[in-house]
C-alpha cells in the first residue's frame, strides 16, 4: 500500500474508535493488504490518538491462546500499543457506551523495571527485567463490523485494543510460578472458565519475550515502567450491562471489573 492509502485506513479506524462505530473488514476492501501494511495502519491510528493527547504506556500481545485463536479464526500472535486512555483500576465500573462490541479476557500483566530490546531476549531476561506482575482484564473491542477479522484486520485495528483493568495484587515472577499458576474466571458469581499460564505460548514470559524480539527487529524497545499484557488465559467473554467479572490467579490474587450501560454497537 502507498502512504496515502495507509493514512486513509489509519484515519478511518481512528474515526471509528472516536465515533464508536465499525467499518467493513479491510481484508474485504483491500484483499492484497499485507501484515506490514496492517502494522503501518495501526501506527497511524495510534499516532492520531497520541496527537489528541494520549501517551503510550505499554504494549499488548494478542491472539496467543488456542481458545481465542479458534474463536477469532486467527492463528498467530499479534501486538498493539497501550495508551493512557485505556487503563482502569481494579474494581472499576466500565461504561459500555464508551465501547462498541466488547469482549473480556483474563490474563497476566507485566510491569517492567528495566528496558528490554530484542532480538535475543529470552523468557529469563523478561523475568529479570520485570518489577512485578498483576492479574488483569483486557476488554478487547474491534472496530471491524461483527468481529469479521483476519489477522491483517486485527493488526491494523491496533490488535483490537479496547481498555484494560489492572489488579492491585502484585507478585514477584522470580518467586511465583507464572507458568503453572492456575487462573479461575468468575462471571456474576459463578465459575465461567479456568486457565493456566502455560496456555499462553507455553508461558506468559515466552509471549513477552516473543514481543520484545518482534519489536526489537523494528527498532522498538520495551521501556522501564511500561505495562505489557501477556495474552489471554481465558476464552473471550461477551459482556453486557450489570455483568461483573473476577479472575483469581493462584498465589497472586485477583482482579475485578463491572460493566454498566449499553455498548455502542
Upper half-sphere CA count for residue 18 (Cβ side, 13 Å): 13
Q: Is the pLDDT of residue 194 over 90?
A: yes
pLDDT at residue 67, as a whole number = 67
Q: Is the pLDDT of residue 232 over 90?
A: no
Q: Note whether residue 20 is domain-resident.
A: no
| Chain centroid offset of residue 229 CA | 6
Total structural domains in the chain? 1
Q: Average pLDDT, stretch 174-190?
A: 95
Q: Note whether residue 175 is domain-resident.
A: yes
Looking at the chain, how many residues does it have?
Answer: 265
3-state secondary structure of 92: coil
CA distance 203 to 206: 5
Q: Note whether residue 46 is domain-resident.
A: no
Q: Average pLDDT, stretch 103-117?
A: 96
Q: Note whether residue 82 is domain-resident.
A: yes
pLDDT at residue 126, as a whole number = 97
Domain that holds residue 111: 56-260
CA distance 218 to 178: 28
Q: Is the pLDDT of residue 95 over 90?
A: yes
Q: Which long-range contacts (CB under 8 A, 24 or more apart) does 6-9 make?
A: 6/37, 6/40, 6/41, 6/44, 7/44, 9/41, 9/44, 9/156
Q: Note whether residue 42 is domain-resident.
A: no
pLDDT tens track for 4-50: 999 999 999 999 999 999 999 999 999 999 989 999 999 999 999 99
Q: Average pLDDT, stretch 146-171?
A: 95
pLDDT tens track for 58-71: 999 987 767 667 76
Please report which confidence band the pLDDT of residue 261 belongs to, taking 50, 70 and 90 as the band edges.
Answer: very high
CATH of the domain at 207: 3.90.850.10
Amino acid at each position: 500500500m502507498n502512504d496515502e492509502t495507509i493514512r486513509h485506513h489509519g484515519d478511518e479506524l481512528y474515526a471509528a474508535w472516536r465515533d464508536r462505530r465499525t467499518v467493513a473488514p479491510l481484508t474485504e476492501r483491500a484483499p492484497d493488504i499485507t501484515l506490514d501494511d496492517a502494522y503501518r495502519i495501526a501506527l497511524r491510528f495510534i499516532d492520531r490518538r497520541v496527537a489528541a493527547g494520549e501517551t503510550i504506556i505499554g504494549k499488548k500481545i494478542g491472539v496467543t491462546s488456542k481458545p481465542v485463536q479458534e474463536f477469532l479464526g486467527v492463528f498467530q500472535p499479534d501486538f498493539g500499543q497501550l495508551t493512557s486512555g485505556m487503563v482502569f483500576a481494579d474494581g472499576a465500573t466500565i461504561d459500555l457506551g464508551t465501547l462498541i462490541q466488547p469482549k473480556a479476557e483474563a490474563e497476566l500483566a507485566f510491569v517492567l523495571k528495566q528496558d528490554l530490546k530484542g532480538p535475543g531476549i529470552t523468557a529469563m531476561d523478561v523475568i529479570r527485567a520485570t518489577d512485578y506482575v498483576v492479574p488483569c482484564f483486557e476488554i478487547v473491542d474491534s472496530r471491524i463490523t461483527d468481529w469479521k477479522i483476519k489477522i491483517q484486520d486485527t493488526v491494523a485495528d491496533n490488535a483490537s485494543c479496547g481498555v484494560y483493568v489492572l489488579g492491585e495484587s502484585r507478585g514477584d515472577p522470580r518467586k511465583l510460578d507464572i507458568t503453572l499458576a492456575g487462573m479461575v474466571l468468575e462471571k456474576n458469581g459463578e465459575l465461567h472458565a479456568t486457565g493456566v499460564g502455560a496456555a499462553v505460548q507455553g508461558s506468559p514470559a515466552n509471549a513477552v519475550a516473543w514481543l520484545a524480539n518482534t519489536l526489537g527487529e523494528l527498532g522498538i524497545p520495551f521501556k522501564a515502567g511500561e505495562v505489557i499484557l501477556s495474552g489471554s488465559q481465558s476464552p473471550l467473554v461477551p459482556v453486557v450491562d450489570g455483568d461483573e467479572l473476577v479472575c483469581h490467579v493462584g498465589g497472586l490474587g485477583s482482579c475485578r471489573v463491572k460493566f454498566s450501560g449499553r455498548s455502542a454497537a
